[in-house]
Amino acid sequence: MAEQKKPEQKPERGKSETQKRQEKRTKEKLKLVQEQIADGSLKIRKMTKEEREKFPPKNREKKRR
């Protein structure tokens, strides 16, 4: 069988400054959450049946590009 090639990532050329700032903020927030999980100050758990009934998933439309 032939090997499947991974799609090549495009260089970050052409991104706007706003998009770069948003990506940086997103990475910083993710890092903070990971640190909180590691030190035990944040615990992520599955919702209980009662919580799922009280807060059902939202129907979101797909983003238009």
pLDDT, tens digit (0-9, with 9 covering 90-100), for 19-64 = 999 999 999 999 999 999 999 999 999 999 999 999 998 888 877 7
Local confidence band at 3 (pLDDT 50, 70, 90 cut-offs)? low
Instruction: Quote the pLDDT of residue 56.
Output: 92
Question: Residues 6 or more apart from 23 whose CB is under 8 A from it?
Answer: 15
Instruction: Quote the pLDDT of residue 58.
Output: 86
* Threshold 0.75, pTM exceeds: no
Residue 39 DSSP one-character state: H
Rounded to 5°, angle at Cα 53 from 47 and 56: 80
Instruction: Quote the pLDDT of residue 18.
Output: 94
Say how far apart CA 51 and CA 63 lie, in whole Å. Answer: 27
